[in-house]
Structure 1
């Protein structure tokens, strides 16, 4: 018997399918998602060359990913049209999230390659993460647990409605 390490355990066996890749449809989840109804895959909005989808393992409620439909790994491989729409969708995502939930700020970014932290390195995606003062409290820092105040389906419905509402 070993000495306890003092950490609490929040058992999340449902994440094992994500970690091991089992239970995932064959191929790329970002290529597969647009083939299904928006509500089933938490797609918030669709464009001509890109779409906005909720992150299944968000840092904060409203954490969106802006993904090109085309399976491309590197930002430099995007066409001019894809680059422009990805930028426009990122901007629209920020406007939408501000209207829906009034965050204090945002983290925007892309992790290019597995060594840079990309969980799905083969398909480029831009993160749009809303931030609030105090959202990194003791739970993730000390408790190593992230609390989420809203279900993905409810977040998707809120953001999809706000996305289609004209800005004031």
Structure 2
């Protein structure tokens, strides 16, 4: 009889356990970092790259890839259908700006853009909806996480913060260029 638990049938990602543990802890503490960070007015420490009227762009502290960001509405809501039209429009505008900025600075080969709604869907912070933007490069998945339980990121968050902040500000100052 064949072994139904053949190791080749599974993809293990043990480096994600810290993220899962941290997100479970923050839920137990009943605090929402997506609400707290903007109120603290310490954008650099909290990795808030840009603030718009209804939402903001923040670097993911546990990135899958360099320049993995999230776009977060200020209002504490759990799902996309609860967004007001002006919030949804602002979030989509920030997605466009973010894509342009990441393309300008990092030249990725593609992107994953996603919204995880509910814990079952993978939401680490399920009570506050947010959009993930993960740039992708050909060959960005490698053997390091599997063999050594290590995710290799070629740049620290502070450097990414400075680069993206400048690129986003440049794009905002020339926002008409996004429409062409």
TM-score class, shorter-chain normalisation, is 0.7 to 0.9
For 1:29-48, list aligned pairs within 5 A.
29-35=33-39, 36-48=41-53
Q: What is the CA–CA distance in structure 1 between the aligned matches of 2:129 and 2:24, rounded to whole Å?
A: 21
Q: What is the CA–CA distance in structure 2 between the aligned matches of 1:17 and 1:43, rounded to whole Å?
A: 23
Gaps of 5+ in 2: 1-13
For 1:113-132, list aligned pairs within 5 A.
113-132=118-137
For 1:11-30, list aligned pairs within 5 A.
18=22, 21=25, 27-30=31-34
| 1:50 alignment partner in structure 2 | 55
1:99 pairs with 96, 100, 104, which one? 104
Gaps of 5+ in 1: 1-9
Contact 2:20 2:124 in 1 (8 A): no
**TM-score, normalization by structure 1:** 0.85
**Number of paired residues?**
158
Q: What is the CA–CA distance in structure 2 between the aligned matches of 1:154 and 1:136, rounded to whole Å?
A: 22
Q: 1:142 deviation in Å?
A: 4.0
| 1:88 alignment partner in structure 2 | 93
Larger helix proportion of the pair = 2
* RMSD, aligned CA: 2.5
- Residues 67 and 20 of structure 1, relative CA distance in 2, 3 Å threshold: closer
Which 4+ residue blocks in structure 1 deviate beyond 3 angstroms?
A: 14-17, 141-144
Q: What is the CA–CA distance in structure 2 between the aligned matches of 1:62 and 1:80, rounded to whole Å?
A: 27
Report SS of the residue matched to 1:21: helix
